[in-house]
Amino acid sequence: MKTIRTLPLLISLAAPVLVNAESMSAPKLHPGDTWTYVETVETAPNGWRQTHDEIVVLRTTSDHIYFETKQAGTTQAANELVEGADWSRSRNVNGTETMVNQPLSFPLSVGKTWQVKYTEAHPNVKHDSESVDTRFKVVGPESVEVPAGKFEAIKIEAEGQWTAQTAPMQSATTGTVANQTGATIVMQTRRASPVVATGRLYKAFWYVPEIGRWVKSDEEYYGSNGVRTQRFTSELESFKHAAQ
């Protein structure tokens, strides 16, 4: 028979686990575990949108979490996804499955560091290549308040750099030249040299063991001029643990 543990109980349990543990193992998740987040996307200079997304665990293996996600309160069909057992995300990069994001690396301990680094060739028509180098670190316990309540979490921060090289492009210009026999069309083709752009990125995750995920995340991307171009914020609104 399934039992549902209430959020206030989870909050009261979370604090001593974080304070007393030297390291934290990966959470034990079960089919039916459900999180609802308010997701906010900010795009410079004034773009903004917000959604309420629900995540439900379908099954787990020793290496992966299979889950579905959809907008909360809607009848839309859910998207089914798979991520690593530590909620890491991998995808095909240059023909090889490559980890592209790893917010958590279990067991967690204060001061632990890890790196996610990859280069992708021809990611889109505008870029010849893109590289991302992100370094993560477990900072330590920190209180955080989100719509679901106040939690004693463990904070993970990441800083890094992105690099993009534009694809070579050709441009043609035409003109006419008058001579004794009439007008002649002259065409010139120019090949633009690739341009390399770089920027910074920052990420933060507030992980609570009893919740099984982070209760808040913040991801920011900055252009070569140091101006923030995008920000993605996720805050927990509700959680239901379907214990077996």
What is the average pLDDT across 58-72? 97
pLDDT at 180: 58
What is the average pLDDT across 222-234? 97
pLDDT at 76: 87
pLDDT at 1: 37
Whether the CB-CB separation of 11 and 149 falls below 8 Å is answered with yes
Torsion over CA: 58, 64, 70, 72 (sign): positive
pLDDT at 208: 98
pLDDT at residue 19 above 60? Answer: no
pLDDT at 181: 58
Please tell me the total count of domains within the chain: 1
Q: What is the mean pLDDT of the chain?
A: 87
What is the average pLDDT across 56-70? 97
What is the average pLDDT across 59-71? 97
pLDDT at residue 127 above 50? Answer: yes
Q: pLDDT tens across 142-155, in order?
A: 999 999 999 999 99
What is the average pLDDT across 211-217? 98
Whether the CB-CB separation of 210 and 14 falls below 8 Å is answered with yes
| Cβ-proximal residues to 91 (8 Å cutoff; 6+ apart), any chain | 97, 98, 100
Task: Give burial (CB, 10 Å; 0-12/13-18/19+) of 150.
Answer: exposed
Query: Among the ranges 116-130, 136-150, 186-200, which has the highest mean pLDDT value?
Result: 136-150
The identity of residue 170, as a single letter, is: Q
CATH number for 215: 2.40.360
Q: Give the global pTM.
A: 0.83
What is the average pLDDT across 25-50? 95
Whether the CB-CB separation of 108 and 125 falls below 8 Å is answered with no
Domain that holds residue 117: 3-243
